[in-house]
Amino acid sequence: MKNHPFHLVDKSPWPITGSIGSLTITSGTVLWFNKNNKSLMIMGTLIIMMTMFQWWRDTIREATFQGMHTKKVTKSMKLGMIMFIMSEVMLFTSMFWAFFHSSLSPNIEIGLQWPPMNIKSLNPMNIPMLNTMVLLSSGMSMTWAHNALINKNLSQTMQALVITIMLGVYFSILQAMEYYQLSFSMADSIFGSTFFLSTGFHGIHVIVGTLFILTSTMRMTKLHMSNKHHLGFEASAWYWHFVDVVWLFLYLSMYWWGM
């Protein structure tokens, strides 16, 4: 029994295993770069993935079956998600800063022009425009799912979530096709570095967001959420809309204006 609404977590091994996984994957990446040996990095990735699965399983159990996520706890988690998204905003801000710093004042090493000499840029009206429409459509279907859940329409919620997942997977496939067809690489001056770093990080965010929504969909099938208690779903919706907004800035700056 306790006389406060806050959740004091039980003792857990997952912070320790997560730390071990982080150390292993970092050391493994250095070993991969220097010795071309991927074994330690793969082991670290597996440790991180298993830790994530077990830790999130425990969190879902606490929220759904043990009733630990009270209104006070839910509020703190929402603030935590907002702070996490703000940290992601700063991450992409640094990438845009690098891009505009070099594109607005190209130096002599890249021929005093942008895009640099001998780099054939993409047509923004082809795959990039299609990807923009796909991601904006997925944002609409995610909003549809949220409204349907609030209105207690489970069937429409499931339909909208499945559509969102399919569009997220389709976006990732289109981006992979785009990378395959590019005539430049990450090693091609600051242009290639900023392009692949920004779009690649965004692509990783799309994959993570798709898995986030897939997890919410699986929980929805097990009736883990209601119209008044769906923090996990709400967090995935916030994350997905953030991914949409970042892509709009990426498309307008790096594909349309920067090309």
Structure tokens at 24: 């292993």
DSSP per residue, 92-111: HHHHHHHHHHHHHS--GGGT
- Tens-place pLDDT, residues 204-221: 999 999 999 999 999 999
What per-residue confidence (pLDDT) applies to 207? 95
Whether pLDDT at 4 is above 80: no
- Tens-place pLDDT, residues 160-193: 999 999 999 999 999 999 998 888 888 888 888 8
Confidence of residue 113 (pLDDT cuts 50, 70, 90): confident
Stated pTM of the model: 0.87
Average pLDDT over residues 28-47: 93
Greater model confidence, 170 or 71: 170
What per-residue confidence (pLDDT) applies to 59? 87
Range of weakest confidence among 24-38, 43-57, 173-187:
173-187
Number of Cβ within 10 Å of residue 40's Cβ equals: 18
* Domains and their CATH numbers in the chain: 1-68 (1.10.287.70), 69-257 (1.20.120.80)
